[in-house]
A and B are shown apart, each in its own frame.
Chain A
Amino acid sequence: MILLHRLDPAADGPTNMAADELLAEGLPAGGIAMRFYGWSEPTLSLGAFQRFDERREVPGLATLPVVRRPSGGGAILHGTDLTYAVAVCRSHPWGETAQRLYDAVHGAAVELLRGLSLAPRLVEAGGPTPVAGREPYLCFDRRSPGDVVVEGDKVLGSAQRRHRAAVVQHGSLLLRRAAHGAGIEDFLGRGVDLPSLCRDWVAGVAAAAGADPRPDMRPAGEASGEAWRAAVGRYRDDGWTRRR
Chain B
Amino acid sequence: MAALKFAPSHEWIRIEESPAAGSVATIGISSYAVEALTDLVFMQLPQVGRRVKAGESFGEIESVKAVSDLYAPVGGEIVEVNTALPGSLDTLASDPYGKGWVAKLRIDDPKELDKLLDQAAYDASVGRK
Q: Which residues of A contact B (CB under 8 A)?
A: 47-49, 70-73, 96-99, 102, 129-130, 132, 135, 144, 146, 158-164, 167
Instruction: Specify the main secondary structure of chain A where it touches its partner.
Output: loop
CA distance A138 to B36 in the complex (A): 25
Q: Which of B42, B69, B71 contacts A72 (CB 8 A)?
A: B42
Q: Which residues of B contact A (CB under 8 A)?
A: 9, 36-39, 41-42, 44, 55, 60, 62-69, 71, 89
Taking a contact as CB atoms under 8 Å apart, the answer to whether A162 and B60 are in contact is no
Q: Which residues of B contact A135 (CB under 8 A)?
A: 41
Question: Given that A48-B60, A132-B89 are known contacts, is A144 also in contact with B9, CB under 8 Å in the complex?
Answer: no
Q: How far, in Å, is B100 (CB) from chain A's closest CB?
A: 16
CA distance A129 to B62 in the complex (A): 14
Q: How far, in Å, is A117 (CB) from chain B's closest CB?
A: 29
Taking a contact as CB atoms under 8 Å apart, the answer to whether B67 and A71 are in contact is yes
- A-B pairs, 5 with minimum CB distance: A160-B66, A98-B65, A72-B62, A98-B66, A162-B68
Question: Given that A98-B36, A129-B39, A135-B41 are known contacts, is A160 also in contact with B65, CB under 8 Å in the complex?
Answer: yes
Taking a contact as CB atoms under 8 Å apart, the answer to whether A72 and B66 are in contact is yes
19 A-B contacts (beta carbon < 8 Å): A48-B60, A72-B42, A72-B62, A72-B63, A72-B66, A96-B36, A97-B36, A98-B36, A99-B38, A102-B65, A132-B89, A135-B41, A144-B39, A159-B65, A159-B66, A161-B67, A162-B68, A163-B69, A164-B9
Q: Which residue of B lies closest to A70 (CB)?
A: B67
Taking a contact as CB atoms under 8 Å apart, the answer to whether B63 and A98 are in contact is yes
CA distance A96 to B66 in the complex (A): 12
CA distance A137 to B71 in the complex (A): 29
Q: Which of A49, A129, A164 contacts B69 (CB 8 A)?
A: A164
Taking a contact as CB atoms under 8 Å apart, the answer to whether A160 and B71 are in contact is no
Q: Which residues of B contact A71 (CB under 8 A)?
A: 66-67
CA distance A216 to B96 in the complex (A): 42
Taking a contact as CB atoms under 8 Å apart, the answer to whether A164 and B71 are in contact is yes
Q: Which residues of A contact B62 (CB under 8 A)?
A: 47-49, 72
CA distance A96 to B37 in the complex (A): 10
Taking a contact as CB atoms under 8 Å apart, the answer to whether B71 and A48 are in contact is no
Q: Which residues of B contact A47 (CB under 8 A)?
A: 62
Q: Which residue of A lies closest to B9 (CB)?
A: A164
Q: Which residue of A lies closest to B36 (CB)?
A: A97
Q: Which residues of B contact A73 (CB under 8 A)?
A: 64-65
